[in-house]
Amino acid sequence: MKYTLRSLNLVESAGIGATATFMPLFANSITNSYFLVGAIVAGYGLAQAVSYAYFAKQYDKRGGKSRLFLIRVGYLLCAAAFFIHLAVFDGLSLFAVRIFAGVATGIYAGALIAKAYEATDKKVVLAGIISFGSLGWFVGTVGAGALKEAFGGDANIVFSLSGAMFLAGFVISFFLKDYKQETENQQVNLKSSATIQILKQNKMVYGSFFLRQMGASAVWSIFPIFLAKDLGASDLWIGVIYATNAMTQFIFMNRFGHLIQANYYKSIELGAAFSAAVFIAYFVSQSYVHVFPIQVLLGVSWSFLYIGSLLFLLDRNKEKATSSALLESTISVGAIVGPLGGGIVAELFGLRGVLLFGFAITLGSFAMSKQLEKQAVSAKS
């Protein structure tokens, strides 16, 4: 089971990562507007956020076969969505296709995380399974960068790679089996908490994560453009820069996952602090070569923040898919607000202004993470 879950995480992250790496450049090439680039990224994030929350709730309510169906249909629709990118001809068609992709990628996400938590020995294996998502991001970004450069900068090869990854995932998903050893808290007939209640119970971790993702998404919406225009990176080097972050995550989650598991609160706090350091380091960079060590710090920061937040939620909520998918939704909501803000800042103050914007927002995430342990202790008393 865990090998199938690892493979599914790998191919879906490769598929998303390949397109995400070059989407800002592609969108800018057909719209010639930083603001419209932000709007396209935001539309994708909104569709994804709604899809995450809705389909994860369905997963928590359903039995085994229906749960597996959600995962399989999600991968199949993702394959279709990314292949349809090949038909894009202007900004409006790209916006529509990105909405479709956002809905499709939200169908399976919470289900896949919950499946990994239910089917393994929880904390010890979960980080290892999720780390294959980072490895997939490495494969996708390096592969996309190399192929795009080899094909003369044609983005269609990137979209084809993404579609092929999800098609492979659809085939792999048939090796998943229904997990029979459900505990009392995982029974289908158990009354689930309302989504709003789950948000309230975990508001500090969701809030801190949202602010970090808002700042980060503002940066990611212009980051490939910044690397290419300001720092002189080619398509291949852009792919390698993204891959450095992904490979760092894979290594850190596997080799040092016990550090994250030892203290969720400290992990979340360190993740937010290191993220702020990353964005200010980008700001002072003068060459794409300077970005490589920063990407290592980025990989460590994400490992601390994401795995720490996931374990915090999965250990404290019976609705495994919903609570974890709401974390994914905060990524998507951040990807709505952040790029819109980043696009406006870029138009007014240039690309480096967006890096300062991301830094300032992430400081708020760090401040909120400092209150997380205090709130948890207060809730228990």
| SS3 track for the chain | CHHHHHHHHHHHHHHHHHHHHHHHHHHHHHHCCHHHHHHHHHHHHHHHHHHHHHHHHHHHHCCHHHHHHHHHHHHHHHHHHHHHHHHCCCHHHHHHHHHHHHHHHHHHHHHHHHHHHHHCCCHHHHHHHHHHHHHHHHHHHHHHHHHHHHCCCCCHHHHHHHHHHHHHHHHHHHHCCCCCCCCHHHCCCCCCCCHHHHHHHCHHHHHHHHHHHHHHHHHHCCHHHHHHHHCCCCHHHHHHHHHHHHHHHHHHHHHCHHHHHHCHHHHHHHHHHHHHHHHHHHHHCCCHHHHHHHHHHHHHHHHHHHHHHHHHHHHHCCCHHHHHHHHHHHHHHHHHHHHHHHHHHHHHHCHHHHHHHHHHHHHHHHHHHCCHHHHHHHHHC
Residue 39 has pLDDT above 90, yes or no: no
The residue that leads in pLDDT, 64 or 338, is 338
Domain-located, residue 135: yes
Return the ∠ at Cα 22 (arms to 19 and 27), rounded to 5°: 100
- Tally of domains within the chain: 1
Most distant CA pair in the chain, distance:
62
| Residue showing tokens 């289900």 | 111
Residue 59 pLDDT exceeds 60 = yes
User: Residue 187: inside a domain, yes or no?
Assistant: no
Confidence bin at 113 (pLDDT 50/70/90):
confident
What mean pLDDT is predicted for residues 64-80?
A: 86
Q: What is the pLDDT of residue 141?
A: 87
Per-residue pLDDT at 273: 96
Residue 87: which domain range?
A: 2-177+195-380
Residue-wise pLDDT tens digits, 293-328: 999 999 999 999 998 998 888 888 887 778 888 888
Q: What is the overall mean pLDDT for the chain?
A: 86
Residue 182 binned pLDDT confidence (cut-offs 50, 70, 90): very low
pLDDT value for 18 = 92
**364 lies in a domain?**
yes
pLDDT recorded at residue 290 = 95
pLDDT of residue 78: 97
For residue 186, tell me if it sits in a domain: no
Quick one: pLDDT at residue 181?
A: 46
CA distances from 71 to 82, 101, 140, 175, 343 (A): 17, 15, 21, 12, 34
The pLDDT > 70 percentage for the chain reads: 89
pLDDT of residue 121: 56
Centre a 10 Å sphere on the Cβ of residue 293 and count the other Cβ atoms it contains: 11
Residue with tokens 């959600």: 70
Radius of gyration of the chain (CA): 19
Instruction: Give the per-residue pLDDT at 169.
Output: 96
The CATH code of the domain that includes 279 is 1.20.1250.20
Higher pLDDT, 266 or 181: 266
Q: State how far the alpha carbon of 277 is from the alpha carbons of 191, 358, 371, in Å.
A: 43, 10, 20
Name the pLDDT band for 187 (thresholds 50, 70, 90). Answer: very low
Q: Is residue 13 part of a domain?
A: yes
In a domain, 132, yes or no: yes
Mean pLDDT over residues 146-154, rounded?
A: 90
Q: What is the pLDDT of residues 262-304, one digit of tens each?
A: 788 899 999 999 999 999 999 999 999 999 999 999 999 999 9
Which residue reads 């865990």 in tokens?
2
Residue 232 forms part of a structural domain: yes
